Amino acid sequence: MDEARTTSGAAAARQVAAAPERAVAPLALQRTSAAEQAADHLTALILDGTLGPGERLRESALAESLGISRNSVREGIRLLEQGRLVRYEMHRGAVVVTPSIDELDDLFRTRLHLETLAVGAERTPARVAALEGAFEALVAAAGTGQAREIVAADMAFHAAIVDGLGSARLSAFFSSLTTELGYYLLILSHTDDEPGHVDEAVLAHHRRLLDTALSGDVEGARAALAGHLHENHQRIRQILAAGGAGATG
């Protein structure tokens, strides 16, 4: 049964990561820069699988589809490179990254060190309010049934844990990881259909993390968080090892 689940999971992940040629909706420009909006739009296309692993990002075609200049698209792609969703290849230019077990391992190793330190921070009223607010936002996101909304709220909850350290630099560092982390968590979410059983798959875990973080039992909170991260890390590893989302070793 486990083998069947892994096989079906890998197939689902490949389907999510497929990159069919579709028209890209024009971008309605807001007050942020055109490059930032282009980066946000392209990020959404990568995370929902419209732009799949290894796919080239053609500046001229994207500029025409989005209704913005090639320079704005080029700058947007550079922002994605900083977020490690895109890399440049010789003779091909910018391409969507292929999920990597090595990258996954490094991300979760980083998370483990930072978040288990942060979860032991002092329980100030501001920290309690921030964590409770982040959990309520996760509950609201779960109600949408949308994987991207749920993953974004999941990352925001963990960012609230890191914010408890009171360091703007560490919070900014963790924020720089969240787009790449979200990519891997979406592979997990789609493969295991987490939105279909969100109470069990997401909310119950994070309710426990919230309760232990606010309990005053620092070692218990660290153990609960480490266990949660380990479980997600190993499941995503299993998916990638089975070839999910075109992964590499």
pLDDT tens, position by position, 52-106: 888 999 989 888 888 888 999 999 898 888 878 898 888 888 999 888 999 999 9
To the nearest whole percent, how much of the chain has pLDDT over 90? 50
Rounded Cα distance, 24 and 166, in Å: 40
In this predicted structure, what is the pLDDT of residue 206?
Answer: 97
In the structure, what pLDDT confidence band is assigned to residue 205 with cuts at 50, 70 and 90? Answer: very high
∠ CA 137-139-143 to the nearest 5 degrees? 115
Task: Write out the H or E segment, with its range, that includes residue 20.
Answer: none
Phi/psi class of residue 246: alpha, beta or left (left: φ > 0; alpha: ψ in -120 to 50)? left
Q: Is 2-96 assigned to CATH 1.10.10.10?
A: yes
In the structure, what pLDDT confidence band is assigned to residue 51 with cuts at 50, 70 and 90? Answer: confident
Rounded Cα distance, 148 and 189, in Å: 9
Pairing relation of β-strands 93-96 and 86-89? antiparallel
Q: Helices 147-163 and 204-213 meet at what angle, rounded to 10?
A: 10
In DSSP notation, 22-55 reads -PPPPP---SS-HHHHHHHHHHHHHHTTSS-TT-
Domains 2-96 and 101-246 agree in fold:
no
Domain ranges of the chain: 2-96, 101-246
In this predicted structure, what is the pLDDT of residue 209?
Answer: 97
pLDDT tens column, 140-161? 999 999 888 899 999 999 999 9
In the structure, what pLDDT confidence band is assigned to residue 3 with cuts at 50, 70 and 90? Answer: very low
Length of the chain in terms of residues written: 249
What distance separates the 2 farthest-apart alpha carbons in the chain? 55
For residue 16, pLDDT over 90 is answered with no
In this predicted structure, what is the pLDDT of residue 125?
Answer: 96
Say which CATH topology domain 101-246 has. Answer: Four Helix Bundle (Hemerythrin (Met), subunit A) (1.20.120)
**Pick the residue with more confidence: 204 or 45?**
204
Contact 182, 155 (CB under 8 A): yes
CA-to-CA dists, residue 95 to 81, 84, 98, angstroms: 9, 11, 9
